Amino acid sequence: MGSEIKVVPMRVLVTGGSGLVGKAIEHVVQEEGGKLEGEEWIFLSSKDADLVDVGQTRAVFEKYRPTHVIHLAAKVGGLYLHMKENLHFLRDNIKINDNVLQTAHEMGVTKMVSCLSSCIFPDKTTYPIDETMIHNGPPHDSNFGYSHAKRLIDVQNRAYYQQYGHRYTAVIPTNVFGPYDNFSIENGHVLSALVNKTHTAKKEGSPVNVCGSGAPRRQFIYSLDLGRLIVWVLREYEEIDPIILSVGEEEEISIKEAEDLIAKALDFTGKIQFDTTMSDGQMKKTASNAKLRRYRPNFTFTPLNEAIKMTCDWFVANYDIART
Residues with a catalytic annotation lie at 146
Distance CA 173, CA 4 (A): 39
Distance CA 127, CA 146 (A): 22
CA 5 to chain centre: 36
Q: At what angle are helices 86-106 and 144-164 packed, to 10 degrees?
A: 20
Cis peptide before 216 (omega within 30 of 0): no
3-state secondary structure of 273: strand
3-state secondary structure of 47: coil
Structural contact between residues 173 and 165, judged by C-beta atoms closer than 8 angstroms: no
Distance CA 252, CA 20 (A): 21
CA 162 to chain centre: 26
Q: What are phi and psi of 107, to 5 degrees?
A: -105, 10
- Going by DSSP bridges, is the β-strand pair 217-218/272-275 parallel, antiparallel, or unpaired? unpaired
3-state secondary structure of 111: strand
The number of beta carbons lying within 10 Å of the beta carbon of residue 6 is 5
Distance CA 102, CA 83 (A): 29
3-state secondary structure of 242: coil
